[in-house]
Structure 1
């Protein structure tokens, strides 16, 4: 709590920025402190080191954005999280929330979920559908056949944070609000993916070299594994591109159920990557190597998703599992996969379709055909 003077003798406590997660924008903090706690624009300007007109524009802009249901919910939760702590009356306990709100989302969780959801929203025709009073929001996109396919599920409090940060914006208001990714969201996704690549390079090269003894022979140090180029920010995935193609009879090369099977594997793969061990070697599932971390490591959802990916790849086996892993999860193009696997040109799409047919049968037989993702 910080002390702020309202007059020559009146001093009250007002919530400091540390009471909120670090991802809360400064404009939202200024709005809450002005509307909920009564701080004047000049006081906020002095505390933040900017001109009062800047704070005024921030407050007016946030007020206009409250027509957005996610932004309005986020601001209400931010205001409640401070008023429940009684900034003007000490000693009162914080009121219990009916459900988890965006103020309970830390920076690491938001960045992790933003990578997953913003990637999906960069795909062609993808939107985030939000229904009031629902704890989950879903990412859906139009398929080549004109139907709608669900590709991801996210907690509503994460969606509220994304909207407040202006990474997503309401495209179609109404009972089912539809959100699309904004230019700020694309820039944030690029920044998050760049951080992942920097961390992967430091983990694969810097740490390994630092731990190698100086007296060791060069041949004793194993060369680092080549990093896979992941095209998460591509608007079109290999599956969506193939789904638009047609064979000589005019039928679509990949049907909706095959695309759904591949998207389901990819969703489990992305959820599995949320655990602490994000550099897991998934290729080991195809070669009979280690099965990854134990059942107690990482969040429960990540552990269960890792098991589902392992079972699916194990059922496909080498060859089919390789092409499914590379095209569905790593999002490698077919030409790249054909070169890596040593296959002839234009044979990868046939193998991929066979793998998706086998994967669809696996989900139907082993997991009861449940189409829920994650």
Structure 2
């Protein structure tokens, strides 16, 4: 690994007590692990600061608030098998053991063991209380974590967020089948789940957002997005049902999610002028 440019040094994580983080992991290493657990994130040696790491997200995208960490934090994660370096020693990524640790820490004590083996996530479906689902069953989560040979995810962070936003709107719009009964939902005489007049305002608004997103993507790709984001069908299943060639759904899904991200105004990299005007605010 090339030695970074010598500059000012950051404080070493070894100076912190071993009990600073959960499970005797240094606090700086815990914070670094949380950053590496974000979609498409990795850590690389800082070319301007000696013995330091910087966080980058979205494959080849720009760092958006990733921060800088001591290189000792990366060494601590690698020694604990929570993160691993590539062969060139230029990129540090989280391992499955690291993701399991984050899932275990994010859940209460009675759900910690289940979260370690299942990627539990909160689903906001517009109901009275949020529910949990296994995010490992979400093909979008698999695509954003799956990397090509050059280390680039199959989909970037903007495409992932676009797909998740469509899924949330479809759930809030009650367009997806419910698994089980909702005994807490209010019911009015003459109305019901099949009566459009009984739908709440937020349900109608969600349906309008879904319709607008699918119209913007186009009829040729909207069906794939419904299967991929709404019904969480894997790429192989989509190919089998549509009789597509192998590995073709990945290409079409990238195009569809890219159009969806454009509709939502999500971009892979931050854009704007090189320099902004200074303004003076006076009371």
TM bin, normalised by shorter chain, reads: 0.3 to 0.5
Larger Rg: 1
Q: Provide the TM-score with structure 1 as the length reference.
A: 0.33
Which fold has the larger relative contact order, with Cα–Cα distance below 8 Å and residues 6 or more apart in sequence? 2
Q: Provide the TM-score with structure 2 as the length reference.
A: 0.41
